Amino acid sequence: MVVIKLRNTVQPTPPDKYKTIDEFFADMYDYGEIVFAYGEQKYIVTYYDNKLSIAESAAPDNQQSFASPEEFAATFELAGSKFKDIIAEIDILIR
């Protein structure tokens, strides 16, 4: 009898990225929750009852709220940059 061992060649997929801010808006309206990473931090964004909230996963007490995904993208900053300007740099972990 011949036994053939197959090597697992499946590579983990890299995190998804947004190309445009409109893709982020569509996901917020469709899914209502996104977990993403930027730098060494992970963030949880939820959109419920016409209110968007964001918090660092390691510091949920530091939650910030916004009236809409559009207001959030225009005013929220990470590392001194507006969210809308760094949208292509964030790693989407869960949607």
Q: Where are the domains of the chain?
A: 21-94
The structure's pTM equals: 0.80
Cα–Cα nearest to 58, from 37, 41, 79, 39:
41
Strands 81-82 and 41-48, sheet pairing: unpaired
27, 83 in Cβ contact below 8 A?
Answer: no
Note the pLDDT tens digit of each residue in 19-77. Answer: 999 999 999 999 999 999 999 999 999 999 989 999 998 887 889 999 999 999 999 99
